[in-house]
Amino acid sequence: MSAFEEGRVMYVLDAKMVKEGGRDVFIKVVDLAILCLNLCGKNRPTMREVVLKLEAIRMSYLSSGV
């Protein structure tokens, strides 16, 4: 979380995975992970919301032709 907050999240991710999946995909996944780690349960997404967001990320990745 500190890497994300400090704007250095790309430095802690595996470069090969970022290259393969694309920077935008990883930023979206990291954003979702940050939401899931919220200390206040009311502010965390439900598992259904997580599934829907991951599916949306997956579909945007697949439709991009990468």
Per DSSP, the residues of the chain read -HHHHTT-HHHHS-HHHHHHH-HHHHHHHHHHHHHHT-SSGGGSPPHHHHHHHHHHHHHHHHHTT-
* pLDDT tens digits, 43-59: 999 999 999 999 999 99
Q: Which amino acid is at 38?
A: N
* pLDDT tens digits, 10-56: 677 667 766 777 778 888 988 899 999 999 999 999 999 999 999 99
Range of the domain at 23: 2-63
The number of folded domains in the chain is: 1
For the record, the structure tokens of 19 come out as 């290259």
